[in-house]
Structure 1
């Protein structure tokens, strides 16, 4: 799983293709990514990790937004109450 720091490190990734090997055709066409911290990931692993990290970050942002919406509703209710009591 990737956090914000790890995602930043992946911006400077190196993409390499494994040399062609007649004995292992699957390995010959597998493209890998080597991160700055030395981890080697296949493209599908990288995309999956990136997707998980993005979903986590979006969920956190969504929770914060919901909290702010609730605060706004409470403030609006207080303003209406204060406006009605001053009439």
Structure 2
């Protein structure tokens, strides 16, 4: 994926990946930066799956330490912004 994507595009793509992992979520569910993964129905194992998909999709590497700090959608999108700048 292009490393110069806009933050809204990153949030949209991460939201699509979350919806793939949690099909019961539906298209109307709000996936916003302040929403926790738990509120979206993602277990810790699904968050690991999400991170794997994000790594492949955005061509980044997320460390185990970074992974354990992810609680909200915004944590992940912010990390992606930091990794794309680095």
Alignment TM-score, normalising by the size of structure 1: 0.29
Q: Which structure shows the bigger proportion of residues in helix conformation?
A: 1
Higher relative contact order, chain-length normalized (CA < 8 Å, sep 6+): 2
Alignment TM-score, normalising by the size of structure 2: 0.29
Q: Which structure shows the bigger proportion of residues in strand conformation?
A: 1
**Structure (1 or 2) with the larger CA radius of gyration:** 1
